[in-house]
Amino acid sequence: MQDRNPGNGGETHQQATGDAPVLTTNHGVPISDNQNSLKSGARGPTLLEDFVLREKIFHFDHERIPERIVHARGSGAHGVFEATDDVSDLSKAAVFTKGEKTEVFVRFSTVAGGAGSVDTPRDVRGFAVKFYTREGNWDLVGNNIPVFFIQDAIKFPDLVHAVKMEADRAYPQAGSAHDTFWDWASLMPETTHMLMWAMSDRTLPRSLRTMEGFGVHTFKLVNDGGKASFVKFHWKPVLGLQSTIWDEALKLQAADNDYHRRDLWEAIDSGDFPEWELGIQVFDEEFARAQPYDVLDATKLIPEDDVPVRIIGKLTLNRNPDNFFAETEQVAFLPTNVVPGIDFSNDPLLQGRLFSYLDTQNSRLGTTNFHQIPINAPRCPFGNFQRDGKMQTHVPKGRANYEPNSLAEFGEDGGPRESPKRGFATVNAATGDDEQGDKLRVRAELFADHYSQARLFYRSQDAHEQAHIASSFVFELSKVGLEAVRPRMVANLRNVDEELAQRVADGLAIDLPEKAEAARAPVDMAPSDALSIHKNMKATLKGRAVGILIADGTDAGDLAKVKDAVEAAGAKAVIVAPKVGGAKLSDGKTQKADGQLAGSPSQIFDAVAIVLSEEGCKTLCREGAAVQFAMDAFGHLKAIGANEAAQPLLDKAGVEADDGVTGLGEDFIEAAKHRFYDREPKVRMLA
């Protein structure tokens, strides 16, 4: 119980009575007054001996730890990974034992923005998974794009410095559309493939739940006999791929800074658990040698048409964090966290990350003992001879803090010992024929091909996606004030695709520059449907949201039918009305709204239905938010279902009839499963 008593200044004191817990200091000392500091007299100075005040302020002053330099803006969730296929011929890792269930924590993030930036900029998304396996923690630290900007970790500080806020002015935040990034990128041809992905809709995901994840690097799987195979890791969303479009993403930033974080939290909270399948591409040295690219080059991918992705498990996120700071903010992912059966390759970008991440976590979390924070601690037994250090919470007993030792021979605890049979052992095999000889600061021959896979990616997109890529380059380069950068970047693009380069040049109103000289002539690779979002979107409403706009006089029967049909299709029906208290329907009952019209724009939904009476439509035609609701839904290529009475609102919003503008019946439910990209030339000019 708690008694509430006013203090002499009118302040509220909640005081514990009965079995109510007592407020204490961090050291357990009960606190008598949490409202007033200790002073020498009512109006006198505050006393230094007030340890309650000092501890409280001291802790508050240190509540913020340094944010991550990259991937600062993140959202996390707990879940479980279940292995669904027997891969014992490839890996001895216990996490892959068929039927094995392993706890996980997953953190999604943007890259360029700070912790206080928004969820929906054009940006790469981090996709990091911590597996708490029975053999120790395995961290698969990747992105939602299978390739990266650079080939060697020595360039990572330059990449981040270039894409982050410009050093002299501290803007722009969370965006690459500025001088320093494109100046650097245009001088680094190896970025070209990644730029194609970055300028595509892959960097505008509709939801964290509808994006793929990739381990990026080539790793190794090792079986019980010591045989090693190369492997690439893929996360495939069960809901399929889905993205927004650029104008929609801009408006989402205004509508909801926390759009992706909220979407993930609410999906898990409602029991609509996000799921991904884990797939692997496995290949050997013979395959690697036969390719026109180097499998150790992080700017390259292996086409799924050449090595199909084999599904071996399922990831389900089923629990939100209990505390954002303790878990999502303090979680520390390390590429060095691998378990027996998984090993590294000589990818130079990966090799640099193996050093960098440990150093970073030490700096951020302030102690070498960050592994003892609960979110980072393994779930299996662990022990070693590491001792002491800042914030040490373990209390080892006995004298054994070294080995070898013979203390056990004298009845003392001698501590743990190495295990040649069970322990992690680096694969004793060369990654390639050249792993010998002098130590050189050079790159392997095939690393010089910077354009073949960029061409593969562009030519694998459908016409709408290609238009988005070209338009993205135009937008980003239009923000560049250094005039020489634009033609330099277009000169690089001529090595990717002449039509793309011409479209970008036309969009910038510049002459097509001379083609940049390629360090290695690009080769044509067969287009791959696996690289396209549009070719992999699923015709489903499951896990999506449909906004239903109503007003006073809306027919109760029509509303009920639409809502039931939407929910039967697996989507969330969200009622939107001019006032959050709701609208009075045709049956005289008030339908409570899930969101107010002014705060629930159509960009937060996957499709919209507009169910109005004639009088309600007249009212909404005078309401700018309602007109914008319909206009944006049409402009963002979404399905719009409407009854006849709502037609004047559609007309005022410029909504034209097409396959995505329907009535309120089954035709709407079917249309709501799609975006209507053929509509786009009606609503905007693309490059």
On the question of pLDDT at 152 being above 80, the answer is: yes
Question: What residue spans define the domains of the chain?
Answer: 64-185+203-429, 451-535, 539-683
The two beta strands, 640-642 and 661-662, are parallel
Contact between residue 415 and residue 397 where contact means Cβ atoms under 8 Å apart: no
* Cα(198)–Cα(242) distance, integer angstroms: 15
DSSP-based three-state secondary structure for 44: coil
On the question of pLDDT at 205 being above 60, the answer is: yes
Active-site annotation holder among 71, 78, 260, 450: 71
Section 20-24 average pLDDT = 87
Using CA atoms, how far residue 301 sits from 170, 220, 234, 412, 482, in Å, is 34, 15, 11, 54, 32
Query: In which element (H, E) is residue 124 found?
Result: none
* Cα(337)–Cα(358) distance, integer angstroms: 10
Position of tokens 């939602």?
A: 144
Told to judge if 405 belongs to the known catalytic residues of this protein, a careful annotator would answer no
Section 591-619 average pLDDT = 97
pLDDT tens per residue, range 358-391: 888 888 998 888 899 999 999 988 888 888 888 8
Peptide bond into 6 cis (omega under 30): no
For residue 1, what pLDDT is reported? Answer: 52
Section 286-298 average pLDDT = 96
Q: What are phi and psi of 586, to 5 degrees?
A: -65, -25
DSSP-based three-state secondary structure for 171: coil
On the question of pLDDT at 54 being above 90, the answer is: no
- Specify the DSSP class assigned to residue 23: P
pLDDT tens per residue, range 31-44: 889 888 888 888 88
282 exposure class (CB count in 10 Å sphere: 0-12, 13-18, 19+): buried
CATH 1.20.1370.20 fits 451-535, yes or no: yes
Type of residue numbered 166: E
Position of tokens 């498990």?
A: 313
Helical H runs in 368-509? 452-460, 463-478, 485-493, 498-508
Told to judge if 369 belongs to the known catalytic residues of this protein, a careful annotator would answer no
For residue 107, what pLDDT is reported? Answer: 98
Lowest mean pLDDT among 116-130, 263-277, 385-399, 423-437: 423-437
Token readout for 454 is 């960029």
Lowest mean pLDDT among 98-102, 199-203, 214-218, 347-351: 347-351
Using CA atoms, how far residue 184 sits from 158, 535, 557, 656, in Å, is 8, 32, 59, 43
- Specify the DSSP class assigned to residue 503: H
DSSP string of 279-303, one letter each residue: EEEEE-HHHHHHSSS-TT-TT----
Q: How many CB atoms lie within 10 A of CB 653?
A: 21
- Specify the DSSP class assigned to residue 598: G
Rounded to the nearest integer, the mean pLDDT of the chain is 93
* Cα(182)–Cα(192) distance, integer angstroms: 11
* Cα(40)–Cα(51) distance, integer angstroms: 15
The string over 230-242, giving b where at least 16 C-beta atoms fall within 10 Å of a residue's C-beta and e elsewhere, is bbbbbbbbbbbbb
On the question of pLDDT at 446 being above 60, the answer is: yes
Architecture of domain 539-683: 3-Layer(aba) Sandwich (3.40)
364 is in an annotated binding site: yes
Which positions ≥6 away from 437 have C-beta within 8 Å?
Answer: none
The string over 441-463, giving b where at least 16 C-beta atoms fall within 10 Å of a residue's C-beta and e elsewhere, is eeeeebbbbbbbbbbbbbbbbee
- Compute CA 389 distance to the chain's CA centroid, rounded to the nearest angstrom: 33
Q: Hey, which residues does 233 pair with through a beta bridge?
A: 280
Using pLDDT thresholds of 50, 70 and 90, give the confidence band for residue 56.
Answer: confident
Position of tokens 């634009």?
A: 486
For the chain, percent of residues with pLDDT exceeding 70:
98
- Specify the DSSP class assigned to residue 531: G
On the question of pLDDT at 431 being above 80, the answer is: no
- Specify the DSSP class assigned to residue 108: E
156 is in an annotated binding site: yes
What does the radius of gyration of the chain's CA atoms come to, in whole angstroms? 29
- Please give the residue that has the higher pLDDT: either 633 or 360: 633
Which positions ≥6 away from 596 have C-beta within 8 Å?
Answer: 576, 577, 578, 579, 580
Which positions ≥6 away from 160 have C-beta within 8 Å?
Answer: 69, 70
Which positions ≥6 away from 16 have C-beta within 8 Å?
Answer: 1, 2, 22, 23
* Cα(107)–Cα(75) distance, integer angstroms: 6
Q: Nearest-CA neighbor of 104 among 75, 84, 132?
A: 132
357 is in an annotated binding site: yes
* Cα(206)–Cα(197) distance, integer angstroms: 16
Q: How many CB atoms lie within 10 A of CB 356?
A: 15
Type of residue numbered 679: R
Query: In which element (H, E) is residue 200 found?
Result: none
Q: How many CB atoms lie within 10 A of CB 52?
A: 18
Which positions ≥6 away from 96 have C-beta within 8 Å?
Answer: 83, 87, 88, 90, 312, 313, 341
Q: Hey, which residues does 6 pair with through a beta bridge?
A: 12
Its pTM stands at: 0.90
Q: What angle separates helix 485-493 from helix 498-508, to the nearest 10 degrees?
A: 160
The string over 250-265, giving b where at least 16 C-beta atoms fall within 10 Å of a residue's C-beta and e elsewhere, is bbbbebbbebbbebbe
DSSP string of 291-341, one letter each residue: SSS-TT-TT----TTTSPPEEEEEEEEEE--S-IIIIIIT----TT---TT
Contact between residue 458 and residue 495 where contact means Cβ atoms under 8 Å apart: no
For residue 342, what pLDDT is reported? Answer: 96
For residue 312, what pLDDT is reported? Answer: 98
On the question of pLDDT at 649 being above 90, the answer is: yes
Architecture of domain 64-185+203-429: Beta Barrel (2.40)
For residue 63, what pLDDT is reported? Answer: 83
148 is in an annotated binding site: no
- Specify the DSSP class assigned to residue 82: E
For residue 429, what pLDDT is reported? Answer: 61
- Compute CA 17 distance to the chain's CA centroid, rounded to the nearest angstrom: 46
Active-site annotation holder among 78, 137, 143, 495: 143
Section 564-579 average pLDDT = 97
Helical H runs in 482-555? 485-493, 498-508
